[in-house]
Structure 1
Amino acid sequence: MFTAHALSLALLSAAALGTLALCVQLFCVLRHRWDTSEPVTGTGPTERLSGISILKPLCGVDDDLEANLECFATLGHPAYEVILGVKDTRDPAYPVALAAVARWPDVMKLEMQHGEPGLNPKVNQLITLAAAARYDLLLISDSNTRVGPGYLEEISRAFEDPSVGCVSHPVSGVGEQSLGSLMDNLYLCSTAAAGQIAAKRAAGQDIVVGKSMALRREAVEALDGFYSVRNVLAEDFVIGQWMRRYSGQRAVVARSPVYNVSQKKSVRTFFQRYVRWSIIHHSCIPTPLYLAQSILNPLPWALLSAALSPSTPTLAMAGGVAVVKGLHDVIVFRIMRPGQKTPWMTLPAVLLKDALLFVAWAHGLVVRSVNWRGHSLRVMAGSRLVTPSPERPLSPALPEPQRAAELLAG
């Protein structure tokens, strides 16, 4: 039986291991952003770059949506289109989309969603958008993102290698005007983006992020289209796993980030989002791995260790972990946001963020249901969605494609 001292020592060891992992993660981020061994964009003629169809589902009016769309209307790529999607004319994004199409008719077009085949509203739109796309590279792009120069060129160059089946981008958060958005942007930079980069560089693991995910049309069609993930909440994770297991092609993590615009989120909205995200994440990975990943948020474990066995060494260790974690997050935050200011309250926000994320992680350990856009859904293995609501049962007349079923079962 564990004594308080033994448990304190175990927690302190976990915190120390997590702190070391963060140092490795920081090194990977530095190397990824500053590595010049491979060009970000090629040197060949631009007229040979592949055409790209950008699929951009809209739902509601995101922070600064008009400016986000303008960014994608002026990318300068020789052959691309932006297909905006809304569910119906009642969506507040509908007039914004109409105005964007009127302003940039040569680049943008609007598609209304056809039917409602599944429980994932984003995928329901992607099914319609993919059918309307004219190019062979399909780029899923969230409506709250912006990108930098060379974004489409980097994607097109990557697909010149026939072994590449997917290009995804690390996500950087920008635009914070509230504490909730500052914590959101901190998480995207220091946890999501840093984790994606480190997983690829240190462990060779592909983490595909749906904020910006480019795929070959033939790969999507081999998956039986986006229809196969219509009842999956983490469709980007499932598609990334499918690419590795079935297509034999590899995923590439682009060097340039995409910028997620988060301006005025409340602390409550931040917390609710990551409570839901923790449930989704746990559904996608084995419980032992979910437990192990918690050490990447080492400060709560160090503080619990000090509370169980308060002493000068444990308190000093907890203080050291706090310093390292704070520095890690602030440095990665600055690296992933070139040219952006770092708010004075960033360091205190790191500590509050980590405390709330720890509570969200614990919630995801035991809960399997989410409320998402007005629907009560249960998240099964592989983030497959089911609903207890009788008005939206899963239809047995619409069988899942065999490969997607095998993936979700595995």
Structure 2
Amino acid sequence: MLNVVNMFPMRYIFHGLAVYFLLFLCVKWAIHLTAIFYGKWKLHRKTVPPSSEVPWPGVSIIKPLMWVDPNLYSNLETFFTQDYPKFEILLCVEEESDPATMVARRLMSKYPSVECRLFTRAAAVGVNPKINNMQPGYAASRYELVLISDSSVRMKADTLRDMASRMTGQVGLVHQLPFTCDGAGFAAALQKIYFGTVQARIYLASDFLGIACHIGMSSLVRKELLEEAGGLAAFGRYLAEDFFLGRWVVGRGWRTCVSGQPAWQNPGACEVSGFLARLTRWAKLRAAMVPVTILVEPLSECAVLGVCASWGAARLLGADPCGFYLVHALVWLLLDWALLSVVQNGALPFGKLEFVTAWLFRELSSPCVYVRALCSPTVTWRARSFRLRWGGEAEQLVSRV
């Protein structure tokens, strides 16, 4: 009799878990649909051309550069050709010997009418090498808006105009959805699928719900907000400075907003191992900054959630777990295809078979990336090693080689 009594609490626990898994699955599908419809409405919309009658705010574009890849020149050139009335470009490298300085000087000579300055010495204001690199350029910036843009990002001629036009009312930060240019090979397809599905899903749904979700590949921010925080140097103790910058903006009563154009990453090199290392680093940063993601993030993946939801459906509804899992995976795949097509805004550069292959690889490798991220708090970034602390602060272990 005692054993029967003791079994009742476990039964309720299992039923509760089954309900939780199924509800979690419904929420994920709702996020999928929200991202698809919101992305269709939000992205790739035409903006009004600049007019002399409208006082467009000046923009200081800060480009942190480090080393040279085959696409650096063409990527950087797109910033010199922006269709915008008032902007300056501040090119920042850590040291004069960096070969990126030659690329910068070539473009400065080619476009003498564009206001551009080159800074060849980083400032030591924190452990974050990107902040240290950008600090001299930020200190010299003159305009009320500051655009921080990674070296691998390229822009269309009207991108800066699109971002500035959304800086209205209580919007303090406009950021672009991270995406990638078309490329050849499996690694390029893998990256495009990740940014156009996993990243886009959270990015677009968060913007729709008014939740700050900010990755600093390309971000336009009001300089007054940066100055209130103490400038860029105030975020130098973090590796994920973009997360804490977004949190600061929201904490001051301002909103963040996603631009109508994605941030087109166009790196010169594209390898699967390098991309997985990048995902591992990001997972480590998320776990250190928001520890609750350690519990929630694995369940957000198709493979893990499918197993849990299939068990829940079999327990509560008597469904066949294998059949339920296959339907779940098929629905997830189709929704991802639809979302990727919305973000791409055109034909995908690969066929359906390559999409399915790369999609399966990403989904099945995701748990491995997550486990690997939790095995060590050490992060390698920009030829340096760092140890993460809870809360997101970092300690440098090995300086640049």
| Partner residue of 2:188 out of 167, 176, 181 | 181
Question: How far 1:10 sits from its partner (Å)?
Answer: 4.9
1:59 aligns with 2:63: no
Question: Which of 366, 371, 386 is the matching residue for 1:362?
Answer: 371
Question: How far apart, CA to CA, are the structure 2 residues paired with 1:268 and 1:42?
Answer: 42
Out of 253, 256, 259, the position equivalent to 2:258 is 253
How far apart, CA to CA, are the structure 2 residues paired with 1:307 and 1:61?
Answer: 50
User: Which deviations, in whole Å up to 9, do the C-alpha atoms of 1:30-50 show, x marking residues without a partner?
Assistant: 2243259x9854886565211
Are the equivalent residues in 2 in contact too, given 1:120–1:230 (CA < 8 A)?
yes
User: Alignment partner for residue 100 of structure 1, among 93, 97, 107?
Assistant: 107
1:204-258, Cα deviation, whole Å (9 max, x unpaired): 211122011111111111111111111210001001111111x222212222212
Task: For residue 344 of structure 2, give the secondary structure of its aligned residue in structure 1.
Answer: coil
* Equivalent residues in 2 for 1:24-103, closer than 5 Å: 24-35=31-42, 40-41=47-48, 45=52, 47-62=54-69, 64-103=71-110
Q: Kindly provide the CA deviation profile for residues 84-143 of structure 1, in whole angstroms up to 9, marking residues without a partner as x.
A: 111113323222112111112222331113433322111112211111222111000111
Q: TM-score, normalised by structure 1?
A: 0.84
Aligned to 2:4: none
- Take 1:34 and 1:141, find their aligned partners in 2: how far apart are those partners? 25
Matched pairs, number? 385
- Tell me: CA distance 1:43–1:115, structure 2 relative to 1, closer, same or farther (3 Å): closer
Which amino acid is the alignment partner of residue 83 of structure 1? Answer: L
Q: Do the aligned partners of 2:50 and 2:85 also contact (CA within 8 Å) in 1?
A: no
The aligned counterpart of 1:218 is 224
Q: 1:180 to 1:154 in 2, by over 3 A?
A: same
**Aligned partner of 2:297 among 293, 298, 302:** 293
**Amino acid of the structure 2 residue aligned with 1:292:** V
**Preserved contact between residue 271 and residue 360 of structure 1 (Cα < 8 Å):** yes
- 2:361 pairs with one of 317, 328, 352: 352
The alpha-carbon distance between structure 1 residues 355 and 211, as it changes in their structure 2 partners (threshold 3 A), is same
- Paired residue secondary structure (1:48): coil
Alignment partner, residue 112 of structure 1: 120
Give 1:52 shift. Answer: 0.7
Q: 1:243 aligns with which of 239, 243, 249?
A: 249
Q: Residue type matched to 1:126 in 2?
A: M
Gaps spanning 5+ residues in structure 2: where?
1-6
Asked if residue 276 in structure 1 is aligned to residue 281 in structure 2, the reply is yes
Quick one: distance in 2 between partners of 1:8 and 1:363?
31
> Is residue 2:393 matched to residue 1:384?
yes
Superimposed CA distance per residue, residues 321-345 of structure 1 (whole angstroms, 9 cap, x where no aligned partner): 2212222222222211123533120
CA distance in 1: counterparts of 2:22 and 2:370, whole angstroms: 16
Retained in 2: the 8 A contact 1:124–1:230? yes
* Corresponding residue to 1:21 among 28, 31, 36: 28
Are 1:134 and 2:142 matched, yes or no? yes
Q: TM-score, normalised by structure 2?
A: 0.85
Counterpart AA for 1:92: P
Rounded Cα–Cα distance in structure 1 between residues aligned with 2:231 and 2:337: 40
Give the drift of 1:175: 2.5
Q: CA deviation at 1:259?
A: 1.0
The match for 2:156 is 148
Superposed CA RMSD: 3.2
Q: Assess if the C-alpha contact under 8 Å between 1:14 and 1:298 holds in 2.
A: no
Q: Which whole-Å deviations, capped at 9, do the CAs of 1:135-175 have from their partners, x for residues lacking one?
A: 111000111112234322222222342x2211111122223
Structure 1: 5+ residue runs without aligned partners?
Answer: 393-410
Partner residue in 2 for 1:399: none
- Per the alignment, do residues 46 and 188 of structure 1 end up closer, same or farther by CA in structure 2, a change over 3 Å counting? farther
Return the match for 2:381 from 372, 383, 395.
372
Q: Which protein shows a greater Rg? A: 2
Q: Is the 2:148–2:217 contact (alpha carbons within 8 Å) kept by the matching residues of 1? A: yes
Runs of 4 or more, structure 1, over 4 Å off, are 6-13, 38-47, 303-309
Deviations 1:358-393 (A, max 9, x none): 21123334532112233221111332111345x89x
The answer to whether the 8 A contact 2:76-2:151 is kept is yes
Does the aligned pair in 2 maintain the 1:238–1:382 contact within 8 Å? no
1:194 aligns with 2:204: no
| Residues 98 and 14 (structure 1), Cα distance of their counterparts in 2 relative to 1, 3 Å cut | farther
Closer/same/farther in 2, CA of residues 44 and 293 from structure 1, 3 Å limit = farther
The CA deviation at 1:22 is 3.6
Change (3 A) 1:352 1:186: same
Q: 1: distance between equivalents of 2:98 and 2:70? A: 15
